[in-house]
């Protein structure tokens, strides 16, 4: 049975004279641009008249045949069709007019630059990062660009120094597409390096010097950088260029701005500007390759925060390994502001922010740990990176101009932002798309959902990253074809579930997968569990998020692997034997050394230890012990008090050295050697010990060093066989509850 042709609606939007009319073709449940393309006005250049909707026949030449029944055009597979909802499923059809309205609102909110991209994907060179900074430096040469404590650097000084370093980099073979690692603290040299790499056309690869060595090696090997800019030698294993040793004289003394004639090849908008690695869950993060094309939109967005005039002071807190650092630098340096380097540790310690701060970007986790009074009243506070609890937002909005921003690294830091500061009590949301950005809220068939309905958030526009470096399959799975854009355009699948409010803004609902953010780090609990499952000794694991809002933490539950636990226990017992022998070689007589507080790490006072020992002795004496077995005798702290009153005192210890030293002391006491028997053997071994013989059995505090709870249970099970009916078992430094054996003998109660 042949399906009926889908209804077709052609809508023409007539705007101000300097915009040429473009058409949107709406076919069935989909909305797509006319093949000739279209341009969008900014919100300030909105149409002089509302859109007019024309219904009626559409010329056949305007209808792509791939949308008709039985179409067989060759390009019908060039763009993926929306995913089906499954056999036999059918989603209620959203009227085409409503679908267009959702999309139209998204395009209007995105405020796209009316000067569209050229056919080859390039804009005028003035939108490149180095050119935008150079233009700003020419406007404000004497303004302080960087500030760290008492150190200052003006725009003119910063630009000149970056130009000199850029020429040196070009001479070292750095050009468009060349990765250059930067590993140094957050200071002026870092910004000089970033700008110099951009001027040479290279790719800035930031690496926090405080990262573990394993992560540094991973990033270095993954990005393929042949050169690293560092503040001191030995930061990396790459060929390093130490800034403090660079000779800026001679051939590199020219401080004029570089042009394409100075570079190894022309620099274009789609060349990568930086390669930044997502935080990752298991130590193997993905490198996100971000082009120059998305940075101009950040500059225009920041003008809404700063007013576009010089004089604002931006506190720089983010690690260079996070793209939030790019956000902070662009906010200041592309509009005449000052970057003020600060430390989150100082804020957490209760110190106030540096003087005159006007703008700061904070994670909700940090906001929850400090006071709003840390910053001058009415500062602009941008919260990002995590979902911000409503109560926290209200508290800060009462003191400051609070704005919530949202955007994965894959969308050049930011995709949406609140259009105005939050009013206390107002629901905090993700806001609307920033300049040159379009967002879609889609169901599982890639169809737009209506207001109030939950869907997955997709982001399109010039801010999209080029993809994941060296990971084609992962790039293809997250950067998908945009069925609503021009042929060849893409959109990023965020994995975030959102809904569109009645006002057109976006509200965060949750994740479509298991990914969570904790203190700004992207974490996939399933990936963490997978890594734990490959750890020797782990049979199974489960990883969950505990807590709420800014108090969340990751908790792992582990089940030992029976196949490897025995071997691991043997290794641990051997290690403790070695450490015990070393300890007792250095001590003579009774020793309280080595006891430290698990709370403070400091040594427990000897007087306090003696009180504990005396209290333990009194508890054991209450049972009038006659035949005692002590497991883990050590230096004889209990034996020296109990053995003189017993008929027999047997004692074992893992350390042969401890047993040898203690035997020498016992033999020196007349009458004691005949009643004390010492053996060097592991706690679980009962070799040479008489069964059912002892009325008192003591498992010393050595139990806290047993390799597992199962090992402790094994020791106790075997020890009970050594007890006479009615015997008593004492266990210290364990969570086990021990008591008397019934007259009938084990099992113990």
Q: At what angle do helices 129-139 and 155-171 cross, to 10 degrees?
A: 150
Of residues 731 and 208, more confidently modeled: 208
Classify domain 123-268 by CATH number.
3.40.50.980
Distance CA 225, CA 237 (A): 11
Q: Is a pLDDT exceeding 80 seen at residue 627?
A: yes
Instruction: Decide: 597 and 604 in contact? Cβ < 8 Å.
Output: yes
Q: Residue 212 has what pLDDT?
A: 87
Of residues 370 and 104, more confidently modeled: 370
Q: Is a pLDDT exceeding 80 seen at residue 29?
A: no
SS3 (DSSP) at 544: strand
Of residues 567 and 201, more confidently modeled: 201
Distance CA 260, CA 199 (A): 10
SS3 (DSSP) at 149: coil
Contacts of residue 128, Cβ cutoff 8 Å, sequence gap at least 6? 198, 267, 269, 292
List pLDDT tens digits, range 677-717: 999 998 888 999 999 999 999 987 777 777 777 788 888 89
Report the b/e string of 270-280 with b at 16+ CB within 10 A.
ebbbbbbbbbb
Q: Residue 98 has what pLDDT?
A: 54
CATH topology for 566-732 is Rossmann fold (3.40.50)
Q: What are phi and psi of 235, to 5 degrees?
A: -65, -35
Give residue for tokens 């992207």.
522
List pLDDT tens digits, range 455-493: 999 999 999 999 999 999 999 999 999 999 888 999 999
Report the b/e string of 303-320 with b at 16+ CB within 10 A.
ebbbeeebebbbbbbbbb
Q: Residue 255 has what pLDDT?
A: 84
Structure tokens at 642: 């109990």
Q: Residue 80 has what pLDDT?
A: 40
Distance CA 176, CA 199 (A): 9
DSSP per residue, 3-43: PPPPPEEEEEE---TTS--EEEEEETTEEEE-TT------G
Q: Residue 592 has what pLDDT?
A: 56
Contacts of residue 87, Cβ cutoff 8 Å, sequence gap at least 6? none
Helical H segments across 542-591, by residue range: 562-585
Considering the entire predicted model, what is its pTM? 0.61
List pLDDT tens digits, range 160-191: 999 999 999 999 999 999 999 999 999 999 99
Q: How large is the average pLDDT for residues 142-151?
A: 95
Domains of the chain by residue range: 123-268, 524-560, 566-732
Question: Mean pLDDT across the chain, nearest whole number?
Answer: 79
Distance CA 273, CA 266 (A): 14
Q: How large is the average pLDDT for residues 545-566?
A: 74
Distance CA 461, CA 485 (A): 9
């Amino acid at each position: 049975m042949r399906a009926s042709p889908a209804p077709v609606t052609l809508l023409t939007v007539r705007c101000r004279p300097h915009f040429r009319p473009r058409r949107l073709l709406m076919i069935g449940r989909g909305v797509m641009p006319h093949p000739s393309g279209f341009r969008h006005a900014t919100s300030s250049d909105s149409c002089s008249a509302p859109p007019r909707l024309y219904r009626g026949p559409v010329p056949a030449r305007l209808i792509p045949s791939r949308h008709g029944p039985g179409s067989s055009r060759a390009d019908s597979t060039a763009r993926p069709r929306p995913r089906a909802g499954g056999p036999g499923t059918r989603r209620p059809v959203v009227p085409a007019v409503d679908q267009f309205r959702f999309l139209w609102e998204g395009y209007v909110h995105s405020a796209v630059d009316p000067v569209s991209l050229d056919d080859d994907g390039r804009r005028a060179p003035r939108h490149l990062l180095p050119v935008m900074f150079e233009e700003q430096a020419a406007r404000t040469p004497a303004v302080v660009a960087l500030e760290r404590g008492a150190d200052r650097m003006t725009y003119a000084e910063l630009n000149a120094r970056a130009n000199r370093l850029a020429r040196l980099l070009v001479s070292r073979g750095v050009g468009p597409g060349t990765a250059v690692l930067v590993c140094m603290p957050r200071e002026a040299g870092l910004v000089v390096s970033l700008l110099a790499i951009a001027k040479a056309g290279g790719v800035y690869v930031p690496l926090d010097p405080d990262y573990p060595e394993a992560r540094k090696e991973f990033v270095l090997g993954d990005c393929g950088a042949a050169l690293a800019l560092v503040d001191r030698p030995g930061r990396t294993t790459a060929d390093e260029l130490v800034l403090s040793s660079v000779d800026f004289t001679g051939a590199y003394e020219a401080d004029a701005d570089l042009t394409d004639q100075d570079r190894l090849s022309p620099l274009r908008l789609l060349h990568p500007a930086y390669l930044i690695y997502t935080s990752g869950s298991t130590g193997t993060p993905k490198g996100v390759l971000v082009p120059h094309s998305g940075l101009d939109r950040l500059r225009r967005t920041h003008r809404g925060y700063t007013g576009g005039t010089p004089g604002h002071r931006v506190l720089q807190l983010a690690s260079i390994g996070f793209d939030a650092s790019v956000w902070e630098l662009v906010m200041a340096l592309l509009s005449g502001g000052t970057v003020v380097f600060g430390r989150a540790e100082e804020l957490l310690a209760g110190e106030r922010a540096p003087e005159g701060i006007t703008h700061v970007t904070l994670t909700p986790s940090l906001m929850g740990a400090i006071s709003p009074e840390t910053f001058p009243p009415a500062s602009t506070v941008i919260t990002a990176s995590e979902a911000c609890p409503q109560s926290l937002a209200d508290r800060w909005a009462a003191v400051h101009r609070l704005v919530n921003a949202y955007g994965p690294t894959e969308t050049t830091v930011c995709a949406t932002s609140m259009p105005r500061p939050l009013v206390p009590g107002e629901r905090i949301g993700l806001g609307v798309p920033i300049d040159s950005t379009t967002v879609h809220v889609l169901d599982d068939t890639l169809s737009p959902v209506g207001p109030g309905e939950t869907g997955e958030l997709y982001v399109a526009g010039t801010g999209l990253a080029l993809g994941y470096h060296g990971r084609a399959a992962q790039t293809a799975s997250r950067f998908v074809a945009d069925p609503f854009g021009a042929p060849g355009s893409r959109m990023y699948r965020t994995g975030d579930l959102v809904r569109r409010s009645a006002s057109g803004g976006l509200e965060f609902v949750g994740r479509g997968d298991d990914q969570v953010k904790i203190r700004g780090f992207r974490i996939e609990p399933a990936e963490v569990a997978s890594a734990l499952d490959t750890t020797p000794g782990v049979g199974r694991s489960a990883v969950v998020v505990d807590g709420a809002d800014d108090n969340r933490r990751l908790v792992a539950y582990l089940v030992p692997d029976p196949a490897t636990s025995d071997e691991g226990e043997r290794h641990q017992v051997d290690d403790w034997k070695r450490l015990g022998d070393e300890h007792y070689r250095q001590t003579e007589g009774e020793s309280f050394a080595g006891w430290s507080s698990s709370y403070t790490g400091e040594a427990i006072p000897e007087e306090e230890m003696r009180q504990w020992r005396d209290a333990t002795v009194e508890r054991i004496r209450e049972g009038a012990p006659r035949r005692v077995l002590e497991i883990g005798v050590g230096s004889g702290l209990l034996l020296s008090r109990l053995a003189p009153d017993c008929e027999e005192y047997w004692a074992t210890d893992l350390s042969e050295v401890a047993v040898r030293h203690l035997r020498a002391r016992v033999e020196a006491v007349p009458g004691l050697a005949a009643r004390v028997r010492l053996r060097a053997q592991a706690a679980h071994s009962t070799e040479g010990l008489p069964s059912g013989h002892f009325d008192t059995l003591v498992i010393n505090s050595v139990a806290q060093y047993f390799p597992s709870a199962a090992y402790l249970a094994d020791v106790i099970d075997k020890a009970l066989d050594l007890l006479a009916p009615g015997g008593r078992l004492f266990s210290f430094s364990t969570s086990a509850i021990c008591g008397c054996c019934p007259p009938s003998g084990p099992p113990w109660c």
